[in-house]
Chains A and B, each alone.
Chain A
Amino acid sequence: MKWFEKTGVIIFLLGILVFTLVPFLGNYQMSQELVEQNTKEIHQERMAEILSPMYGQSYPSNFAFLGDFNRHFSAYNDSLKSNQLWDQVIWDDYSFALAKASVQSPSKENPWLWLGLSIGLAVLGGFLYNFRQHEEESPGIKNNGIFHSKLKNRGWLGMITGAYLILFYILLYWFPAYLVNLVWMVDPLSRILSGGPASQWFLYGFIYTLAILVMGLRMFRKYRGNKYQQLRTASVMFFQTAFAFLIPEILVLLNQPYFDFKNIWPLDYDFFYDYQLNTFLSSGGVGFFMLIWGILLIIVGVPVFTYFFGKRWYCSWVCGCGGLAETVGDPFRQLSDKSLKAWKYERWIIHGVLVLVNLMTLLTIVNYFSEFALLGNVTNQLHSFYGFAIGSAFAGVVGTGFYPFMGNRVWCRFGCPLAAYLGIVQRFKSRFRITTNGGQCISCGNCSTYCEMGIDVRWYAQRGQNIVRSSCVGCGVCSAVCPRGVLKLENDSEESRFEEFPILIGNDSIKIKS
Chain B
Amino acid sequence: MPSKHIVILGNGISGITCARHLRKLDENLRITVISGESKYFFSRTALMYVAMGHMKFEHTQPYENWFWEKNRIELLQEWVETVDFTQKKLLFQSGNNLSYDQLILATGSKPNKFGWPGQDLEGVQGLYSKQDLEKFEENTTVAVQRAVIVGGGLIGIELAEMLAYKKIPVTFLVRESGFWNNVLPKEESELVGRHIREHHIDLRLETELKEILPDNDGRVRAVISSKGEEIPCQFVGLTAGVSPNVDFLKNSSLDVKRGIVVDEFFQTNIPDVFAIGDCAEFQKAPASDRRNIEQVWYTGRMHGETLAYSLVKGKISYQPGVWFNSAKFLDIEYQTYGSVPPEWKPEEFTSFYWEHSSGKVSFRMLMSQENKIVGVNNFGFRLRHEFFDKAIKEAWTGEKVIANLQKANFDPEFFAPYFREIQGAFQKEYGGNFTIGKKTFIQKLFGART
Contacts and interface: CB of A to CB of B under 8 A. Distances in A.
Interface of A: 138-141, 143-149, 226-228, 231, 339-340, 437-440, 442-446, 448-449, 458-459, 462, 476, 479-481, 483-485, 488-489, 504-510, 512, 514
28 contacts: A140-B330, A143-B54, A144-B54, A146-B53, A147-B54, A149-B53, A226-B415, A228-B412, A228-B413, A228-B414, A231-B414, A339-B64, A437-B386, A438-B386, A440-B298, A440-B326, A442-B43, A443-B13, A446-B55, A458-B62, A484-B326, A484-B327, A485-B335, A485-B410, A505-B324, A507-B305, A508-B320, A514-B305
A506 B321 contact: yes
Interface residue SS majority, chain A: loop
B302 A506 contact: yes
A442 B385 CA distance: 14
B45 interface: yes
Contacts of A509: 302, 305-306, 309, 316-320
Contacts of A138: 195, 198-199, 330-331, 360
B297 interface: yes
A512 B24 CA distance: 10
A170 to B, nearest CB: 31
B298 A510 contact: no
A442 B413 contact: no
Given A507-B320, A508-B319, A509-B317, A446 B335 contact: no
Contact of A147 (B55, B333, B360): B55
B328 A484 contact: yes
B246 to A, nearest CB: 24
Contacts of B5: none
A512 to B, nearest CB: 5
Given A231-B446, A443-B43, A509-B319, A485 B333 contact: yes
A488 B382 contact: yes
Interface string B347-387: 00000000000001000000000000000000000111110
Nearest to A506: B321
B98 interface: no
B46 interface: yes
Instruction: Sort A-B residue pairs by CB-CB distance and give the 5 closest, nearest first.
Output: A438-B385, A140-B331, A485-B382, A444-B46, A227-B414
Given A437-B410, A479-B412, A462 B62 contact: yes
Interface in B268-319: 297-298, 301-302, 305-306, 309, 316-319
A481 B415 CA distance: 15
Contacts of A504: 301
Contacts of A489: 412-413
B389 A510 contact: no
Nearest to A227: B414
A442 B446 CA distance: 33
B52 interface: yes
A444 B45 contact: yes
A506 B43 CA distance: 20
Contact of B59 (A340, A449, A484): A449
A141 B319 CA distance: 36
Contacts of B389: 438, 505-506
Given A144-B165, A510-B316, A505 B49 contact: no
Contacts of A481: 54
A442 B326 CA distance: 9
B445 to A, nearest CB: 10
B415 A148 contact: no
B55 A445 contact: yes
B448 interface: yes
Nearest to A226: B412
Given A227-B415, A437-B385, A507-B305, A512 B21 contact: yes
A506 B54 CA distance: 29
A484 B297 CA distance: 12
- Most chain B beta-carbon neighbours within 10 Å: one of A146, A231, A440: A440
Contacts of B55: 147, 445-446, 449
- Most chain A beta-carbon neighbours within 10 Å: one of B195, B198, B383, B386: B386
Nearest to A448: B59
